[in-house]
Amino acid sequence: MGDFLSSVLPAGLIDVLSALIPPVVVGAVFCTFVIQLLRKEMAPRRMDGSLVSKDDAAEGADDGKSADADGETAAEDGTPIVRDGERAESDGR
């Protein structure tokens, strides 16, 4: 195999490629882990901070379940949902 590559590629190019392969592999692995971490951190979350799984999101869209069925209160008249003692986002702005 080495004889085939040396006959096809110039001698200096083989040295350059062999020097560049390890940093490229390390960089690709690093980028893969960073992208996985960013995707996990940007995943949709509920108000309590827990992750919304794909199954929960699909069931909510397909079954047409309301938030009341999950134990959460929904504002049907379009008013913002706030907890006790908290202000709505538009208050005081």
Q: Is residue 47 part of a domain?
A: no
- How many domains are contained in the chain? 1
Q: What is the three-class DSSP state of 51?
A: strand
β-strand partners of 45: 51
Q: Is residue 19 one of the residues assigned to a domain? A: yes
Structural domain of residue 18, as residue ranges? Answer: 2-42
The verdict on residue 80 lying in a domain is: no
User: ∠ CA(22), CA(23), CA(25), 5° rounding?
Assistant: 65
**Domain membership flag for residue 70:** no
pTM: 0.45
Q: What is the pLDDT of residue 26?
A: 97
Question: Residue 8: is its pLDDT beyond 80?
Answer: yes
Residue 61 domain-assigned? no
Residue 21 resides in a domain: yes
Over residues 1-13, mean pLDDT: 78
SS3 3: helix
Could you report the per-residue pLDDT of 27-75, keeping only the tens digit for each? 999 999 999 999 988 888 888 888 887 665 555 555 555 555 555 555 5
Residue 91 forms part of a structural domain = no
Pick from 5, 32, 4, 31: nearest CA to 18? 5
Q: Per the domain annotation, does 17 fall within a domain?
A: yes
> CA–CA separation, 22 vs 26, rounded Å?
6
